[in-house]
Amino acid sequence: MSPKDVLAFAKAEGARQVDIRFTDIPGLQHHITYPISQLTEDSFEDGFGIDGSSIRGWAAINESDMLLIPDPATAIIDPFYSVPTVVMTGNVLDPITKQKYDRDPRNIARKAEAHLQNTGLADTCYLGAEAEFFIFDNVSFDSTPNAAFYEIDAEEGRWNTGRKENNHGYRPRYKEGYFPVPPTDHYQDLRAEMVEVLEKAGIVVECHHHEVATGGQCEIDQKFETLVKSADNMMTYKYIVRNVAHQFGKSVTFMPKPIFGDNGSGMHCHQSLWKDGKPLFAGDGYAGLSQMALWYIGGLLRHARSLSAIIAPTTNSYKRLVPGYEAPVNLAYSRRNRSAACRIPMYSASPKSKRVEFRPPDPSCNPYLAFSAMLMAGLDGVINKIDPGESLDKDIYDLSPEEMKSVPSMPASLEEALYCLEEDHTFLLKGDVFTEELIETYVSYKSKHEADAVRQRPHPYEFALYYDI
């Protein structure tokens, strides 16, 4: 929509307010709301002034003035507000230079798309991300100097099979929650409502289903989109899924590993490059891939350890990325084999469906940063013709210790991942997509507020291990 279209849309829908949203560095969405009378055609050029000093990872208080410019192409009616409200995603500009703010994640994604076009290699990166999540009935947690605990509960959780009252059974066994019909799948109707709201918001849904873990693990798959649009959709997806669950008296988390001993939540990312409306990843190479696609895989694998700080960006991420589980810690590629970091889906022989699925990411990441970083790694592989090596079509977890020595692996902790990012990020700086200052800010924030904060605190299980030592 154009600015004029948005104003007409708002009037037709009876909107009385306008809500502009943006995303901080860690990936939390923020918003500010104005009476609809404040929205004019000039607003799409002049923007709205905001204070960025309290946004995580953004400017210091002496440089806090920002401009928030609404993107008219993102306009929808919020499905949850009681007062009819037009919602748009905004881009953040420096109010003095009027340049894109380098710490605005959406601007980084926009620069990544522009860089792709400037290379002449392709003009479009399509991304389809599959974000899994858990649905809980109750969650409580706290951490103080002398105590720390968490407790989650889900009616569907296998741990409730021994409950005395109001117990009707039908709960997925641990690691056996994939595709059961109701009543074992407790959340068919809830997911169906989520899909209804998502589609009203303009997001095309391909399917929804229960996932592997007990305790309400689910997945709703969106159709692929261009990079920025796909990241926008992921933020809307999280917002809608959380709020529909909230209306049903439930809580959704995209935390990758909330349950010990069962599968965590990943966000497998399907990606491909196109030019002039034609797919570039189809060819006569391995698994029907082009040489460009193989080089793209080479870039993903070469930079996967540094990418991990952005695509699996929490200390909890590395509770999921553990050898021996479905999560792909070993850096290899294969057709069909879901234990490889890069998988080539073989559902269709159509050139348009040829793509690479990168499996290490999880849904705790900031999609603008994660999608941009993966594209930059893949492009580095194409530009420098990085050979991905031999494919690995065996079950990686059945390899001998000698065979495993030749297979590199993902970092085992956020600290290690951040070190890898510090050592290997030149590929992210190409085309000024990421900046050195942004990387330094990101590493500093993640180290101080997350990695160090968790490392310095006693863990409850340490008392079980060491109290009587």
Q: Which residues are catalytic?
A: 51, 130, 132, 211, 219, 268, 338, 357, 359
Cα–Cα nearest to 198, from 157, 152, 234: 234
Whether residue 458 is preceded by a cis peptide bond, meaning omega within 30 degrees of 0, is no
Cα–Cα nearest to 212, from 265, 159, 154, 257: 265
Phi, psi of 190 (to 5 degrees): -65, -45
Cβ–Cβ under 8 Å, residues 158 and 215: yes
Cβ–Cβ under 8 Å, residues 109 and 372: yes
Residues 331, 390: Cα–Cα separation, whole Å: 11
111: CB partners within 8 A, 6+ apart: 100, 372, 431, 432, 433
Residues 368, 421: Cα–Cα separation, whole Å: 17
Within 10 A of 35 (CB to CB), how many other CB atoms are there?
Answer: 10
Cα–Cα nearest to 236, from 148, 381, 106: 106
Which class for 392: exposed (0-12), middle (13-18), buried (19 or more C-beta within 10 A)? buried
Residues 168, 126: Cα–Cα separation, whole Å: 44
Residues 169, 167: Cα–Cα separation, whole Å: 6
Identify the DSSP state of 282: B
The neighbouring-strand residues paired with 87 are 19, 76
The neighbouring-strand residues paired with 279 are 274
Upper half-sphere CA count for residue 230 (Cβ side, 13 Å)? 29
Phi, psi of 50 (to 5 degrees): -135, 160
- The distance from CA 445 to its chain's CA centroid, rounded to whole angstroms, is 19
Residues 29, 21: Cα–Cα separation, whole Å: 7
Q: Pairing relation of β-strands 29-35 and 17-23?
A: antiparallel
319: CB partners within 8 A, 6+ apart: 256, 257, 264
Vertex 253: Cα angle to 251 and 259 (nearest 5): 105
